[in-house]
Amino acid sequence: GEYWDQSLCPDPQSCSQNCALEGVDEKGYLENYKASPVQGGIKLEFPSAPRVYMLDGEDRYKMFRLKNKEFTFDVDLSSLPCGMNAALYFIEMDEHGDRNGLNPGGAKYGTGYCDAQCPHMRFIRGEANLLGWEKSHWAVNPDGQNMTGGHEGRYGYCCAEMDILEANREAGVFTAHPCTEQEQAICEGKEQCGDRGEGITGYCDKDGCGFSSFRMGDEKFWGAGQEFAVDTTKPMTIVTQFVTSDNTDAGDLVDIRRIYIQDGKVVKNSEANVLPGGGDSITDAMCSEQNRVFNESSFGFKDAGGLKAMG
């Protein structure tokens, strides 16, 4: 529901002690959320597809150390039309899902979520986020008017986010969202949680620095049909490389590169034709130039520390 039951939740700690998580088994995922295993992966069907996590054993999340490495996955977006978003991304969650005395469930039950949008989760580190429960102004419509969202609590939960892919068969982007804080941080108020409308970055860069081939000037790179360099009517392999300053795991992150493999052929990422300096990957220089060319009102990526902070 939209409101807390005052008989169970008169205060955050009492609420946490009175409430419990109910698990979902494989049958429940299939029947209720249309999520099912396939060989070597998972199949998600919209509009019911849930957010899912990768575990490393029974009670901890799989932790990826990406600097000086590459990450590769296969995906089929052929059935996903414009207006839908299939997202595969990394976030700097706690390995054990913030398991503690108030939250005995932990990673096994999918707790501990955070991202660069600093979401105002109902429970943060096991404690009910019910203080200051009020309607949120979470978006601006094309007329410049605030659109009111649902109720949310006082606190947000922030962490760095690397969007490996946000896409459908008509468009795709990969985006880095750095944060000023290490690991996970609880935020309060617009100075910490950020406010897009007022140009306040807060702990994390909500907009991020991304690479969308269409936005960067190549309208024939990604799309449904053989006339596109990457034909989204067919399965593809996507490779993302995280290059460091000294080509070691300890170096600073300086470049995020992308290549595609389809029908046995390697497809290089498109060029950023709209930028004077060009480029085909995410670097601090490209992000600065993109910010100037598109006349962005703020530059949260730089404010949050850029690629060095992302790494």
Q: What share of residues in the chain are helix, strand, coil (percent, to 5)? A: 15, 30, 55
How far is the CA of 242 from the CAs of 166, 215, 253, 279, in angstroms?
Answer: 18, 22, 7, 16
Residue 297, pLDDT score: 81
Instruction: Give all strands (DSSP E) within 95-208, no chain letters.
Output: 123-124, 127-128, 134-140, 146-152, 155-158, 161-167, 172-177, 185-188
Q: Quick one: tokens of 216?
A: 């960067």
Measured in degrees and rounded to the nearest 5, phi and psi for residue 184 equal -105, 145
- Rounded to the nearest angstrom, the gap between the alpha carbon of residue 1 and the centroid of all alpha carbons in its chain is 25
In terms of Cβ atoms closer than 10 Å to its own Cβ (0-12, 13-18, 19+), residue 232 is buried
166 an active-site residue?
Answer: yes
Among candidate residues 95, 166, 170, 188, the one labeled active-site is 166
**Closest alpha carbon to 109 in 97, 119, 94:** 97
Q: Which member of 92, 127, 152, 161 is catalytic?
A: 161
For the record, the structure tokens of 260 come out as 């595609």
pLDDT at 163: 98
pLDDT at 150: 82
- Structure tokens, 63: 């932790």
The answer for residues whose C-beta is within 8 angstroms of residue 139's C-beta and 6 or more apart is: 146, 147, 149
Cis peptide before 276 (omega within 30 of 0): no
At 7 the three-state DSSP class reads coil
Contact 206, 190 (CB under 8 A): no
Ranges in the chain, pLDDT < 50: none
